Amino acid sequence: MKKYLATVALSAALAQPASAITFSKLTTIYVGAGAASNGSVIATTLHCSNVSGVSANVRFLFLGPSGTVQGDHTASIGHGFTYTISTQEVPVFVENFVFAPELVLNEGVVNVESTNSAVFCTAKVVDPSVFGAIGFTLPLVRVNPHPGTVE
């Protein structure tokens, strides 16, 4: 019985969420290479969810292949909310922000910066001309990890 209770106690301790790191300023949390958008048949969409317990500022920075800023947007995302941003309107998603006029980006990079480590993002490159998820995942590399997670 003692072994069982010790196992249950250990499991409960491990299941507790790790404390989020609050950054004093916007800090890069993700970088993704291969972002693309051409105004008609290719767009990049990001979804970021905040599970920090507090609102977090999140910046989406799109860079061209030479490092020049092509698009920049900052938003405050409340706890429990998912924020969706696209380089152009994508019918399968309901975006919170769409760059206008459409952002043209070839072989670009997207940086996601946040004031909190408990913001988690995914990205994809999709065909915006159809209502469906035709496209591929854009791998994001976690730069400043959230404690207790492996991405």
Domain-located, residue 16: no
- Domain holding 129, by residue range, is 21-142
Interatomic CA distance for residues 15 and 57, integer angstroms: 27
Structure tokens that stand for 104 in this block: 């043209």
Length of the chain counted residue by residue: 151
Quick one: what percent of the chain has pLDDT higher than 70? Answer: 88
For residue 14, being part of any structural domain is answered with no
CB 28 within 8 A of CB 144: yes
Tally the C-alpha atoms within 13 A of residue 119's C-alpha that lie toward its C-beta: 33
pLDDT tens digits for range 74-109: 999 999 999 999 999 999 999 999 998 778 898 899
- 59 part of a folded domain: yes
* Angstrom distance (rounded) from CA 47 to CA 43: 13
Question: What pLDDT score was predicted for residue 13?
Answer: 38
Tell me whether residue 81 is in a domain. Answer: yes
pTM attached to this predicted model: 0.84
In a domain, 89, yes or no: yes
How far apart CA 36 and CA 39 sit, in angstroms, is 10
Number of domains in the chain: 1
CATH of the domain at 119: 2.60.290.11
* pLDDT tens-digit series, residues 13-50: 344 456 889 999 999 999 999 999 998 889 999 999 99
In a domain, residue 7? The reply is: no
Helix or strand or coil: residue 7?
Answer: helix
In a domain, 136, yes or no: yes
Tell me if 5 is assigned to some domain.
no
